[in-house]
Structure 1
Amino acid sequence: MDRLDALKSIAAQAIRGELSFPTNVDATLRLQQALNDPECHADMAARLVQAEPLLAARTVAIANSVTYNRSGNDVTNVRAAVQRVGFRTLGALAASVIVRQLSSEITDPALRARADALWRHSAHVAALAQVIARRVSFVDPETAMFAGIVHEVGGFYMLSKAQAYPGLLDGDAEEWLEHGEVAVGRGVLLRLGVPAPVMGAIEAMWNGMRALPPETLGDTLLLANDLSPVASPLLERPGATTVQAAATIDFAVGDGTLARIMEESAHEVQSLTSALL
């Protein structure tokens, strides 16, 4: 099977919902569903989180990041961390674990390196989206961070399949957009139960549609993607802003500018990114 046929085949499976995930992804999906249950309270959530070591570590790290730890008093246990970050942030962190687990079975060194780079990119975008939402576009910051975490989930799924199809991610960007990122990405997002507003924001990013200053969740996500100091290692979408060009993006925000806000928020973005990594 050649590259294009393989892309079309994987995309068709994704559209039909025939997605094959590693076993640990299915387990974390069940955990995420349990956390979303209205009957789930803080003590139950803490017990669920403790059962997943990576999620437990990430929850404590986020709780102690600059964004969530304004008082400077670090928490040292999962229960206190859950109470501090809240259930919505906890859901985003569960999604971050799922995204990472999608590439957990990759053994090829080159593909593993691309998966690691893609997660670094995603973590930066998530942290930037949270800050931009709170200080610039005034959309919901937790939703923006969640959108940043999952915006490349289709890429992680494709990387997980690339071992069986050498050259799958090489070649024409338009083919990747049509048969890879969009079709597969939409299928995986639906399988993960991503809410419609987040789906819409990610699709707006795929289309490159945004306003400056950002007004919507899609604008926020695309600006965060452009400002990320770590570019996606997958094929660049046509017309995408390079990391170098993104450094010149600036506009007025109230009495200040985007550049000043991002400079003031640099430590916060770094703290959030480190916690996600």
Structure 2
Amino acid sequence: MLLFQYIYLANRHIAGSKMAEPTLTQQVNAVLATLTSDIKNHKLEIPSPPDLLIKLREVAANENSTIDDIVAVVKHDPHISGRLIKVANCALFGARQHVTSVKAAVSRLGLSKVQNLIIGLTIAQSMMQAKTLGLKEYFETIWQQSNRVAAISSVLALRKTKIDPEKALLAGMVHNIGTLPLVLRLHRIPELQKNQKVLQMVADVVIPKLYASAGELVMKSWNFPAEITSIALSHRESQREASDEINLDDIVLIAHQLSKLTDYTKFNGDDSSLLSAPVFKLFWNDQEHAEEELISFHEEIDQMMQVMSN
């Protein structure tokens, strides 16, 4: 169904027998066409990276920085500080003794791991705050998916590869970050501001098609390393050729596929794209092997989801 037809029917459904004004569908369709063009030509307005991310990178770039410098930056945000301590106490990150301070958490994890974790936590917080801008239920769904992909990614990295789990956590957290600038843009369209139901319907059509390419723009603008930036597009390429060994793209692709299942430990009929993905064989021999291992990973995945949600 063409986009303008979708909007037209949505307005007709909401307004009953009163048909939508042609100018409304024309204006909205024109704006959405412009949005597609803006992404293609790198003109999409990208939100600024969170202040904490900028400050953290400045400190990390200074070769004379110490743990105390990192701690001082993190302490500026009590919410992030609290969540970092919770992550440091997760068994996934080798917690043996309970830590209660930011400095102890940083000391346990190390500067490199802390940087990835804080970036992931900061971006997650930014997405949660954006829910107040409209499309609250839509953003809640997107956030839950991001959280689930991040948790699954971190555990897969730990249990199936030598890739740092906090790097996989970050990659999973930002895989759908392109949603953010798209929602911000849609929310500024006057015709859509007047009708939340139509705004929701337009988002349901447009965002799934454009968020990956928009996400690539965000990650490049925020100077993410290439191995993270590639996640924006690669996590949807389920039929791409498998590499010789599991890489970060493979982890997030599988985590993304698993996140869409009702129960990622039990495959039922909605798993065809996952089982047919060439990279699946890098992780498991067959469906039975996958289910068996995922059941054993379940507790760790749930723990990470809870930590990232609170």
TM-score range, shorter chain: 0.7 to 0.9
Larger Rg: 2
Runs of at least 5 residues in structure 1 that lack an aligned partner in the other structure? 232-241
Instruction: Tell me which residue corresponds to 1:145.
Output: 169
Match for 1:184 among 214, 219, 227? 214
Q: Does the Cα contact within 8 Å between 2:231 and 2:249 map onto a contact in 1?
A: yes
Instruction: Tell me which residue corresponds to 1:19.
Output: 46
Match for 2:292 among 246, 256, 260? 260
Letter in 1 for 2:28: D
Task: Please report the TM-score for the alignment, with normalisation by the length of structure 2.
Answer: 0.71
Instruction: Tell me which residue corresponds to 1:236.
Output: none
In the TM superposition, what is the alpha-carbon distance from 1:145 to its structure 2 partner? 1.6
CA deviations over 1:80-104 (Å, ceiling 9, x no partner): 0111222233223332313431452
Q: Does the Cα contact within 8 Å between 2:155 and 2:165 map onto a contact in 1?
A: yes
Instruction: Tell me which residue corresponds to 2:182.
Output: 158
Tell whether 2:94 aligns with 1:63. Answer: no
Runs of at least 5 residues in structure 2 that lack an aligned partner in the other structure? 1-26, 193-197
CA distance in 2, matches of 1:257, 1:138: 20
Instruction: Tell me which residue corresponds to 2:247.
Output: 216
Q: Does the Cα contact within 8 Å between 2:176 and 2:215 map onto a contact in 1?
A: yes
Q: Does the Cα contact within 8 Å between 1:202 and 1:218 map onto a contact in 2?
A: no
Q: Does the Cα contact within 8 Å between 2:84 and 2:102 map onto a contact in 1?
A: yes
* Count of paired positions: 261
Change (3 A) 1:214 1:131: farther
SS in 2 for 1:215: coil
Change (3 A) 1:54 1:261: same
Q: Does the Cα contact within 8 Å between 2:133 and 2:184 map onto a contact in 1?
A: no
Q: Does the Cα contact within 8 Å between 2:117 and 2:166 map onto a contact in 1?
A: no
In the TM superposition, what is the alpha-carbon distance from 1:128 to its structure 2 partner? 0.7
Give the stretch that moved more between structures: 158-167 or 127-136.
158-167
More helix by share: 2
Tell whether 2:297 aligns with 1:273. Answer: no
Letter in 2 for 1:19: I
Q: Does the Cα contact within 8 Å between 1:58 and 1:93 map onto a contact in 2?
A: no
CA distance in 1, matches of 2:184, 2:123: 13
Instruction: Tell me which residue corresponds to 1:5.
Output: 31
In the TM superposition, what is the alpha-carbon distance from 1:108 to its structure 2 partner? 5.5
In the TM superposition, what is the alpha-carbon distance from 1:121 to its structure 2 partner? 1.2
CA deviations over 1:172-192 (Å, ceiling 9, x no partner): 9885455x2133211111122
CA distance in 2, matches of 1:186, 1:162: 18
Instruction: Tell me which residue corresponds to 1:198.
Output: 228
Give the stretch that moved more between structures: 199-208 or 123-132.
199-208
Match for 1:128 among 152, 163, 166? 152
CA distance in 1, matches of 2:138, 2:296: 31
SS in 2 for 1:206: coil
In the TM superposition, what is the alpha-carbon distance from 1:50 to its structure 2 partner? 0.6
Q: Does the Cα contact within 8 Å between 1:95 and 1:150 map onto a contact in 2?
A: no
The CA RMSD measured in Å over matched residues stands at 3.5
SS in 2 for 1:15: coil
Percent of aligned positions that are identical = 20
Relative contact order, CA 8 A, sep 6+: which one is greater? 1
